[in-house]
Amino acid sequence: MPLFMLDAADFPPADWAGPEGLLAVGGDLSPRRLLRAYGRGIFPWFSNGEPILWWSPEPRFVLFPDEIHVPRSLKKILKKNIFRLTFDHAFAEVIAGCARPRPDQDGTWITDEMRQAYQRLFQLGYAHSMEAWHGGKLAGGLYGISLGRCFFAESMFHSEANASKVVFFTLTRILQQHGFILLDCQIHSPHLAEWGARSIARCEYLEWLRRGMACTTRRGSWENLL
């Protein structure tokens, strides 16, 4: 498939993406562009020095909230109530934590440009963070985008063992309670596969996305959801 070059143009259909999932190059990270992308099954992913790259993988890795599997080891951790959990209390700190390079990575795809873009979406009430605190310090967190009844998980981190696991599980349970039908994990993760996430065909993903996007977005702070 030919690669679509963005300028002022809108996105092509998500199923025009190439075999590796790359759909388009260029454009910007304005709130309008990002919201249109997510609503069409497309997301940005690029490194410093690269142009903005837009993706729509085939297959798509998702978790349906009512299919989550809780490992026995996590159940034991949850019972201990080690962490205090919050929503939208430390978005900038969470995305900064996610941007720190991992031991198995060279650099990070969460560039300064990306951080600023998602901070704008947070200010507009579309992006959200969930935090785990221990001893008054941020121990882990996750951030993503909410549109309709779909949540698009972008990244998570931990500085204390199990913090991100507790955050992810709790987020999934809350999404389930509030009628969310889809948690988009984008690309395969062996860790999340153990929790019930699975790969589905792009066409099936786009149909679930269409259903979720037909619902009203819960915009604004989520601090009262816990």
pLDDT recorded at residue 107: 53
Domains 4-58 and 61-213 are alike in CATH topology: no
pLDDT for residue 32 is more than 70: yes
Contact (Cβ atoms closer than 8 angstroms) between residue 139 and residue 130 = no
Task: Determine the Cα–Cα distance for residues 22 and 173; give it in Å rounded to an integer.
Answer: 32
- Taking residues 169-188, what's their average pLDDT? 97
Which H or E run includes 131?
A: strand 127-134
Higher-confidence residue of 54 and 70: namely: 54
Q: What is the DSSP string of 195-222?
A: TT-EEE-HHHHHHHHHHHHTSPP--S--
pLDDT for residue 2 is more than 60: no
pLDDT recorded at residue 200: 98
Higher-confidence residue of 37 and 8: namely: 37
On the CB side of 26, how many CA atoms lie within 13 Å of its CA? 10
- Taking residues 37-66, what's their average pLDDT? 95
- Taking residues 68-89, what's their average pLDDT? 93
Contact (Cβ atoms closer than 8 angstroms) between residue 62 and residue 184 = yes
pLDDT recorded at residue 154: 97
pLDDT tens, position by position, 94-152:
999 999 986 665 557 899 999 999 999 999 999 999 999 999 999 999 999 999 999 99
Task: Determine the Cα–Cα distance for residues 68 and 65; give it in Å rounded to an integer.
Answer: 6
Tell me the fold of 61-213. Aminopeptidase (3.40.630)
Token output for 190: 């062996």
Query: What percentage of the chain carries pLDDT values higher than 90?
Result: 85
Task: Determine the Cα–Cα distance for residues 95 and 226; give it in Å rounded to an integer.
Answer: 20
pLDDT tens, position by position, 199-214:
999 999 999 999 999 9
Domain ranges of the chain: 4-58, 61-213
Print the SS3 string covering 42-108: CEECCCCCCCCEEECCCCEEEECHHHCCCCHHHHHHHHHCCCEEEECCCHHHHHHHHHCCCCCCCCC
Token output for 4: 């679509």
Q: Does domain 4-58 have CATH number 3.30.70.3550?
A: yes
